[in-house]
Structure 1
């Protein structure tokens, strides 16, 4: 019997494969200069979304879908595949918070002054559907993922450590680009004084943490019975 997870993961994986391929093959904007397209968090995010749904699809076919309520099941035996563990860790620590971050910051800055994030000149270079694929549709796709697939979130310390590693890696990358090429990836950073940048970046890191906690909260709301089953099983041991 085909699981609903496969019916969701495979089409979304193919969708992101098309989005990423179209972006890299047909859109020249951002390709030039130091770092190429990988200057942008949006590109990091679309590649990570593709990677995640690829791993999730692969796990559906040859991995596992072990839940706390399965721990006493004779046919499951409470064993998780490496793919399932990787899927859950990625979703909780990078994919959900990074995806939400891209959507919220893009449209937040766009609402204040679009020239700081997506100048009007880009309207003729980037199709509307691609803009929404990169900055809008991420949100509903992730919410559906949380709703139909159980994920075991790591301990908050572990999850936040992975998230901060990802965020700091990107931060160091764009600061390095600014240093070696005198080019600020995001114009909003260029117009700020140094101490304003520190406050702004610090605020964004806090926002990253909040998004992680929101993902954890939603997972508990949607899968409370499964999580409680796991807690009860741990108490028995």
Structure 2
């Protein structure tokens, strides 16, 4: 038996849609519904932004002018891109094209984006927003915003986003990072880049993007900023632990996995100890297995026990 046939059965580290057809239908329906939901949400958000910029209240006008700088909108963008990738992969899977190069790359970036950006920043936005809101809403979401932002839209962008992540966690096992190095780079770049945005706004305009910074001394701002950065990493690592609680701790990655190979009526177990797919090139190059294990395969084919 060709060893490559056995290798193809090794999981790539992130399980795809369940084989159960009914559950696959549910997953695709969920992604389709969320995709439509986000299209409508983003469209209505643009209308809110326009109305805010033409409002007679200066504070509300700032909401419109600085709209792209708010973390809520960054996170909504991450989720929208992710859900489009997820739905695209679902469609390719229903067309039995999940083994094509394009489908594998879509799956790869879907999971990297989800792990590195969607999960940490969705949970960060939801937890921090509602915590500060409960203390004093004027520090994060002034009451005057209610004149242009409906209450239900506020929940759509600060509450429902976490529900989407929870359902996605229940539906798709992601016990381990797809590419830990790249995901952490995305988390780090976005965390520091976002901080640079609102500090730059304060430096050039003298206004804080969030009023909560305005009541703090600089050493308190520094501590609060460290808490913000730490929370993103906390949610990133915690996500995998929570996922394993839902889906079990079995390691589905190719690292330290094995394949049973039949040869002349006998069987041998081949262990693969260094096959973690860290880059698209490594993951999607069809010759990797053949070149790396050609001598091992020949040894098994020519041997007798």
Same fold, judged at TM 0.5 (above): yes
Gaps of 5+ in 2: 1-20, 53-59, 259-269, 273-305
Gaps of 5+ in 1: 65-74
Once residues 253 and 129 of structure 2 are traced to their aligned partners in structure 1, the CA distance between those partners, rounded to angstroms, is 38
Q: More deviation in 9-18 or 211-220?
A: 211-220
Deviation track 1:85-139 (CA, whole Å, cap 9, x = no partner) reads 0011011110011001110000000111111011222223211110000111111
Return closer, same or farther for 1:126/1:33 CA change in 2, 3 Å cut-off.
closer
Counting strand residues as a fraction of each chain, which structure ranks higher?
2
Q: Match for 1:94 among 103, 117, 130?
A: 117
Once residues 31 and 13 of structure 1 are traced to their aligned partners in structure 2, the CA distance between those partners, rounded to angstroms, is 29
Contact 1:63-1:84 at 8 Å conserved across structures: no
Alpha-carbon distance, 1:148 to partner: 0.7
Alpha-carbon distance, 1:143 to partner: 0.6
With the length of structure 2 as denominator, give the TM-score of the two structures: 0.67
Deviation track 1:149-202 (CA, whole Å, cap 9, x = no partner) reads 233523544432321111111111111111122221001112222221111101
With the length of structure 1 as denominator, give the TM-score of the two structures: 0.85
Within the alignment, does 1:129 sit opposite 2:152 as a pair? Answer: yes
CA RMSD of aligned residues (A): 2.8
Q: More deviation in 24-33 or 126-135?
A: 24-33
Once residues 173 and 111 of structure 2 are traced to their aligned partners in structure 1, the CA distance between those partners, rounded to angstroms, is 9
Contact 2:115-2:183 at 8 Å conserved across structures: yes
Within the alignment, does 1:49 sit opposite 2:84 as a pair? Answer: no
Q: More deviation in 127-136 or 219-228?
A: 219-228
Q: Residue in 1 aligned with 2:188?
A: 164
Q: Residue in 1 aligned with 2:248?
A: 224
Return closer, same or farther for 1:31/1:41 CA change in 2, 3 Å cut-off.
farther
Q: More deviation in 189-198 or 107-116?
A: 189-198
Query: How many residue pairs were aligned?
Result: 227
Once residues 95 and 103 of structure 1 are traced to their aligned partners in structure 2, the CA distance between those partners, rounded to angstroms, is 12
Once residues 36 and 114 of structure 1 are traced to their aligned partners in structure 2, the CA distance between those partners, rounded to angstroms, is 19
Once residues 16 and 171 of structure 1 are traced to their aligned partners in structure 2, the CA distance between those partners, rounded to angstroms, is 25
SS in 1 for 2:251: helix
Once residues 189 and 197 of structure 1 are traced to their aligned partners in structure 2, the CA distance between those partners, rounded to angstroms, is 6
Contact 2:113-2:183 at 8 Å conserved across structures: no
Alignment of 1:146-185 (within 5 A): 146-151=169-174, 153-154=177-178, 156-185=180-209
Q: Match for 2:35 among 10, 13, 32?
A: 13
Q: Match for 1:23 among 41, 45, 51?
A: 45
